[in-house]
Amino acid sequence: MDQRTDVRNIAIIAHVDHGKTTLVDQLLRQSGIFRANEAVAERVMDSNDLERERGITILSKNTAVMYNDVKVNIVDTPGHADFGGEVERILMMVDGVLLLVDAFEGCMPQTRFVLKKALGLGKKPLVVINKVDRPGARPAEVVDEVLDLFIELGADEDQLEFPVVYASGKGGYATVDPGEEGTDMKPLLDAILREIPAPKGDLTGPAQVLFSNIDYDDYVGRIGIGRVERGEVHNGQNVVLCHRDGTTKNVKITKLYQFEGLHRVEVEEARLGDIVAVSGIADLNIGETACAPECVEPLPFVQIDEPTVSMMFMVNNSPFAGREGKFVTSRNLRERLFKEVETNVAMRVEETDSPDTFKVSGRGELHLSILIEQMRRQDFEFQVSAPQVIYKEVNGKKYEPIELLMIEVPDSYVGAVMEKLGSRKAEIVNMGTRDTGMTHLEFKIPARGLMGYRQEFLTDTNGNGIMNNVFDGYEPYKGDIQERAQGSLIAHETGESTGYGLWYAQDRGRLFIGPGVEVYEGMIVGVSPKSDDITVNVCKKKHVTNTRSSSADEALRLTPPTILSLEQSLEFIKNDELVEVTPKNIRMRKTVLS
Ligand code: GDP
């Protein structure tokens, strides 16, 4: 077995704001890779505003630092959300993980998911207690907390003996001894070289490259990012690409890159253990292996979770169309959506009978709502339908997707969470309390039971809870949960909306627009069908909703009961006057979740 002593590959796991960007900037600066004009402001590791706001990283980025003639490839991990096995694929590229923890705040539960995966895959952890310069920093305690967490997450004995480095990314120094004043980042780089295993394998065998990620660049198109698992690859080399379906294709590597600092640079060759990028291979997909023609041996595919929820994206044909967005046509929408699936592997886009409507399927509401939000920020104007769970038929029986839901809440909210989830057919599978006053809960829940729950959860826990879910499998359909109204907002028409354009209410049949959405006069902002009448809340004057029922809304009562349908307009008798409300800004319907 050969070993590359001149390469180390690590993934960074960090909670937002624990100083990952600052620390990586420092490593780049001190290793002299920064060009003069690349200020700290070039925060490429975590550059997406939306990601920062939500505290998750959606796209993983690559960085590389040279130190003592060793190339250290640093791969970012998505904070705590995982849409379709991305975390696992990223971890396949590395031999160790750098867990970055704020010396004052300590471990945050958001990183738990990625950390558990990393430990489970046997990756060597290096713990960096960061921001030791902070007043109130408590590095020794935080190390104990990390140890407790590792034990809880099932770390093996070697992993429990994790090395620790104390750092101040801001101060630009690291030390191995917490009592010492550091001067530079060398102790951290030394620890990486010493502690993280160098890539091992066969340096001289036939080339084999496993592609773990796909990136997209407007100039060169699709870019595969992966690791050389065996031998050497050369620019211009002919390789056989092994597709997921078992077919193969002969392709030529026309552009081969490695990472230098924050950039991708063209190289002539790469060897075992190198993290590489290739462009020019149009139908390269995630998880595929490129092999030397004389030895076609695909590596196992990391599973990409199937989409469980779908939604229609439609051209906005309402009278408001074109008022808010720049990109409004079906061609705009089509191009944008199909570009998305180039890199967002757990997402699917399908044409429908209507050229104006596209079916988009993803890993849940959050996955889809992030796309909606991104598109809105990019000035797209479109409508979306209510999300639908994707069911499967197996031997003539209906099966439904089940999610493993992980929740972390302060103890006092456990009751509220359990009660809500109980009515959503969740079954508790694991529960644990920690000294910190936080309880960890794990449930199995039908995907439909999760619909609309995230927003409610945040409200119920006053924003102090954390939830995360991963696909668990398909199970026979569990029967109706409860009758519930579902709605979807026509994205973008609400102007300065900061909401996701999606909202639900769990109470039987109630529907309200969530907070932070700009609403206009005449727009229906809430519906609560009671047993013998329906109360409809109509916006009286333009405002941004701040709570579920807003003072600027006017309630109208409708009798006898009426089911709201997509194209229907409503008439009310109010103060002996006929009031007509057209649901032009809103589409809603009453659905029995089945
Ligand atoms: P990221 O979200 O993990 O990438 O974190 P950033 O690098 O953006 O840092 C988040 C905040 O913490 C910023 O306000 C930084 O100035 C601050 N920060 C980063 N590193 C340190 C540090 O070592 N010490 C202190 N006191 N603050 C830091």
Does ligand 1 have an atom closer than 6 angstroms to the CB of 168?
A: yes
* Beta carbon of 170 within 6 Å of any ligand 1 atom: yes
> Tell me, what amino acid is at 529?
P
Query: Quick one: which atom of ligand 1 is closest to the CA of 20?
Result: 3
Ligand 1 center to residue 81 CA distance, Å? 21
Average pLDDT over residues 276-294: 90
Sequence-distant (≥ 6) Cβ neighbours of residue 353 within 8 angstroms? none
The structure tokens listed for 211 are 């592609």
User: 456 near 467, Cβ under 8 Å?
Assistant: no
The atom of ligand 1 lying closest to the CA of 168 is: 23
> From the CB of residue 491, how many other CB atoms can be counted at a distance below 10 Å?
25
Query: In 324-465, where do the E strands start and end?
Result: 348-351, 357-362, 382-384, 388-389, 392-394, 397-410, 427-433, 438-446
| Nearest residue to 7 via CA among 223, 210, 228 | 228
Nearest CA to ligand 1 atom 10: 17
- Orientation of helix 414-422 relative to helix 453-460, angle to 10°: 150
Those residues whose C-beta lies under 8 Å from the C-beta of residue 335, and which sit 6 or more positions away, are none
How far does residue 120's CA lie from ligand 1's centre (Å)? 29
Q: Could you tell me if 95 and 9 are in contact, meaning their C-beta atoms sit under 8 angstroms apart? A: yes
For residues 528 and 27, what is the distance between their CA atoms, to the nearest angstrom?
56
Residue 591: predicted pLDDT: 26
Question: Collapsing DSSP states into helix, strand and coil, what is residue 511?
Answer: strand
What CA–CA distance (Å, rounded) separates 70 from 64? 10
What is the structure's pLDDT at 294? Answer: 93
pLDDT value at residue 164: 97
Helices 139-152 & 112-120, crossing angle to 10 degrees? 60
Q: Residues 6 or more apart from 257 whose CB is under 8 A from it?
A: 223, 264, 265, 266, 267, 276, 277, 278, 279
Is the distance from the beta carbon of residue 14 to the nearest atom of ligand 1 less than 6 Å?
yes
What tokens were used for 527?
Answer: 């519906």
381 neighbors 325 (Cβ within 8 angstroms): yes
**pLDDT given for residue 372 in this prediction:** 87
Q: What are phi and psi of 165, to 5 degrees?
A: -125, 140
First to last CA, the chain: 55
Which stretch, 118-132, 356-370, 511-525, has highest mean pLDDT?
118-132
Contact 565, 549 (CB under 8 A): no
The answer to whether 79 and 277 are in contact (CB under 8 A) is no
Report pLDDT for 536.
Answer: 64
Burial class for 190, CB neighbours closer than 10 Å (0-12, 13-18, 19+)? middle
Q: Does position 154 have pLDDT exceeding 90, yes or no?
A: no
Whole-angstrom distance, CA of residue 90 vs CA of residue 410: 31
Q: Which atom of ligand 1 is nearest to the CA of 134?
A: 26
Q: What are the Cα distances from residue 455, in Å, to 45, 111, 279, 314? A: 28, 21, 40, 24
Of 238, 289, 497, the C-alpha closest to 381 is 497
- Interface predicted TM-score of the whole assembly (ipTM), two decimals: 0.99
Phi-psi map region of 462: left, alpha, beta (phi>0 left; psi -120 to 50 alpha): left
Q: What is the mean pLDDT of residues 479-502?
A: 34
What pLDDT shows up at residue 35? 44
User: Which stretch of DSSP H or E encloses residue 257?
Assistant: strand 255-260
Residues 514-522: what's their mean pLDDT?
60
- β-strands 164-168, 124-130 pairing: parallel
Q: What is the pLDDT of residues 299-337, one digit of tens each?
A: 988 777 889 999 999 887 766 666 667 788 889 999 999
| pLDDT on residue 346 | 86
- Gap between the Cα atoms of 535 and 555, Å rounded: 6
Instruction: Please report the pLDDT score of residue 422 as a whole number.
Output: 81
Question: What pLDDT does 432 receive?
Answer: 76
Checking if the pLDDT of 87 tops 60, the result is: yes
pLDDT at residue 369 is higher than 60:
yes
Would strands 518-519 and 511-512 be described as parallel, antiparallel, or unpaired?
unpaired
Nearest alpha carbon to residue 13 among 129, 97, 82: 97
Query: Element (H or E) spanning 367, and its range?
Result: helix 365-377
State the chain's mean pLDDT as an integer: 78
Rounded to 10 deg, the angle between the 186-195 and 20-30 helix axes is 90
Q: Is 18 in the pocket of ligand 1 (CB under 6 A)?
A: yes
> Average pLDDT in the 553-572 region?
46
- C-alpha distances in Å from residue 112, one per residue of 90, 152, 168: 16, 10, 23
The pLDDT tens digits of the residues spanning 33-80 come to 544 444 443 444 444 555 544 444 434 478 899 999 999 999 988 755
Average pLDDT over residues 92-97: 95
Span 200-213, mean pLDDT? 94
Whether 524 contacts 471, CB under 8 Å: no
CB of 15 sitting under 6 A from ligand 1: no
Token look-up 């530079």 returns: 184
20 lines ligand 1 (CB under 6 A): yes
**20 CA from centroid of ligand 1 (Å):** 7
- Quick check: 497 pLDDT over 50? no
- Say if residue 584's pLDDT is above 50: no
Total Cβ atoms within 10 A of residue 468: 21
Q: Are 357 and 381 in contact (CB under 8 A)?
A: no
Ligand 1 centroid to Cα of residue 174, in Å, is 14
